[in-house]
Structure 1
Amino acid sequence: MSAVARTAGAEAPERSAREHKGGGLPGAVAAEWGKLWTIRTPYACLVASVVLMVVFAFYFGSIARINDEPVQPVGNAPVSAMVLVQFLVVVLAMTTVTSEYATGSIRSSLQWVPDRHRVQVAKALVTSAVACVAGILLGALGMAVAWPSFDGKATFEMSEAIVQLLSMGVYLALVAVLTVGLSFACRSAVGALSSLFFLLAGLPFILMGPGSEILLKINDGLPQSAGNHFMAGDTTPYSSVVGLLIVVAWATAAHLIGLTVLRRRDA
């Protein structure tokens, strides 16, 4: 019996080590990935984003042809459509946080992963990965749909198209990170969606309305405008790299705000 007990005692640490191999950040990411695809929201958001991209990319190309606008890259059509498509990414990323607060399952998530930062990072990584891939695929779809609608009013260069596709994926990924951070700060779907809609759509609309140079400069510092400059590859009022850095700064700030609230206020 003593030999059996010693053998069992020796195997216990090994068994415990094997049981905990799935923990840490990889385990948290795997858990969030599984939770994401067990609800209907991501599927509905992705289907709706395809519909929006097809409609508005074709619309943009048609308007450019009708208004006899200068010849432009075909990628400008899906870039413009991202103004609306991004809100489906917002809903997808927001749901991973606010739905858990609404049902109380956030308590279980924080018990399974006590490290608050790890929970937030896992949600941000999962949603941003999905958003990035979706952005690239949606961008390609938008180019394909818009090309015939331009009817010769667009150009296509492979290198330029690839850069724009990657930029669309990166922008939507950063929007997902921004959304997760603000969702942890607001905790409710109404509060998070209202805040994000105001930041990404309402405030730019207000600032652009009067046509004031000062207000336009302020607008250029918002994530939506900076994202547009980044995806379109603009050189004015600043380079696309500066646009990317502005969006990264907003996403980082939102992440830190959400983390601060999460650490100070328990579930």
Structure 2
Amino acid sequence: MIATIDSERIKLMSTRSPYWCVAIVAVLGLGLAALISSGGPVDELTDNPANVYLLGVNQFGLAVLLIMAVLGITTEYRFGTIRLSFEATPRRWQVLVAKGVVFAIVGLVVTFVICLLGLVIAKLFAGDDFDLTSSDAIRQLWGTPIFIALAMLIGVAVGALIRQTAGAVTIVLVWTLLVETVVIPLLPKVGEPVVPFLPFTNGWRFLTGDTGDFHWNIYGSLVYFALVALVILRAAIAVVNKRDA
């Protein structure tokens, strides 16, 4: 398994798209942190300013990193290199798990660094209006990387299930940017009882610290999001094991 993980790491680092994606996330994360914090206090808009300062990571950066995770496997199907991966590692589940581990670690490390720098930048601009040592800020610092790492697992799993880049990217973007944030919450009668079970909504709830009408607390929301990510990855493994490469 270690050799498979190392192989996936080499694959990832040998292509240009991850570097571009990370650069975009860095620009979004740090740029928005500076822009929002320099615009004046945000305390009137939210009880968790740290989450607002990191919108470039936990919202827009999330979309970019999901695309990166999807590309990590759909491009292998596109160019047929996935067959070589499965021939080298006959237990296909190991390939998917290795990809998930590599992308999750990359997402976690990159996000942690950007969040740390973003919060420091926000403190420099906002000054006394922002407490860098508050419990909410600390939760953003460790919680956002975990949220992104779990999201990367979902990206890899969706890519393995769909296999086509355009379709998989469309699904993850529509899912996160439209379905969970706009469509379902606005559905009459159906939306309200369904919202507490939406995976990304639970992840965002953990980051915002929202104590709304859910069936569990914010840490339960993080656990729920993690379980959904693992279930989707397990489903992808089952499908990949049954069909041709």
Determine if the TM-score, normalized by the shorter chain, exceeds 0.5. yes
Checking the alignment, whether the CA contact within 8 Å between 2:53 and 2:119 is kept in structure 1 is yes
2:147 equivalent in structure 1:
171
Distance 1:157 1:226 in 2: 24
The one-letter code sitting in structure 2 at the alignment partner of 1:207 is I
Which moved further from structure 2: 243-252 or 140-149?
140-149
For residues 13-162 of structure 1, the aligned pairs below 5 Å read 25-62=1-38, 65=41, 69=44, 72-81=47-56, 82-150=58-126, 152-157=128-133, 160-162=136-138
Matches within 5 A, 1:172-191: 172-191=148-167
How far, CA to CA, are the matches of 1:86 and 1:64 in structure 2? 25
Tell me if the contact between 2:161 and 2:239 (Cα under 8 Å) persists in the aligned partners: yes
Structure exhibiting the larger radius of gyration computed from Cα positions = 1
Look up the equivalent residue of 2:223 and give its one-letter code. Answer: L
Higher mean C-alpha deviation, range 215-224 or range 99-108 = 215-224
Deviates more, 1:173-182 or 1:84-93: 84-93
- CA drift of 1:221 comes to 2.3
Aligned partner of 2:240 in structure 1 is 262
Q: 1:158, CA displacement in angstroms?
A: 5.6
CA shift, 1:186, in A, is 0.3
Aligned to 2:225: 247
Displacement of 1:260 in angstroms is 1.9
Q: Which is further off, 194-203 or 142-151?
A: 142-151
1:195 aligns with 171
TM-score (norm 2): 0.89
Quick one: which amino acid aligns to residue 142 of structure 2? L
Q: Are the equivalent residues in 1 in contact too, given 2:71–2:165 (CA < 8 A)? A: yes
After superposition, give the CA deviation of every residue in 1:75-116 in whole Å (9 maximum; x if it has no partner).
223443311101121122112100100100011000000101
Does the C-alpha gap of structure 1 residues 102 and 112 become closer, same or farther in structure 2, counting only changes over 3 Å?
Answer: same
The TM-score normalised by the length of structure 1 is 0.82
Structure 1: runs of 5+ lacking an equivalent: 1-24
**1:22 is matched with which residue?**
none
How far apart, in 2, do the equivalents of 1:141 and 1:221 lie?
A: 32
In 2: Cα distance, 1:236 partner to 1:159 partner: 19
Segments of 5+ residues of structure 2 without an aligned counterpart are: none
Instruction: Provide, for residues 17-75 of structure 1, a one-character-per-residue CA deviation record: whole Å limited to 9, x for no partner.
Output: xxxxxxxx10100100011000001110111101011222234335663x761674442
CA distance in 2, matches of 1:148, 1:207: 38
- Secondary structure of the corresponding residue to residue 155 of structure 1: coil
State percent identity of aligned pairs.
Answer: 24
- Deviation of the 1:231 alpha carbon: 1.8
* Worse-matched range after superposition: 87-96 or 42-51: 87-96
- 1:184 and 1:258 in contact (8 A); partners too: yes
From 195, 198, 218, the equivalent of 1:219 is 195
- Residue identity opposite 2:50 in structure 1: G
Change (3 A) 1:208 1:62: farther
Q: CA contact under 8 A between 1:129 and 1:173: conserved in structure 2?
A: yes
| Distance 1:61-1:225 versus aligned 2 partners, 3 A rule | farther
Q: 3-state SS of the aligned residue for 1:173?
A: helix
What secondary structure does 1:114 align onto? coil
CA contact (8 A) 2:25 2:64 kept: yes
Quote the Cα distance in structure 2 between the aligned partners of 1:121 and 1:174.
Answer: 13
**Equivalent residues of 1:128, 1:174 under 8 A apart:** yes
Once residues 169 and 13 of structure 2 are traced to their aligned partners in structure 1, the CA distance between those partners, rounded to angstroms, is: 21
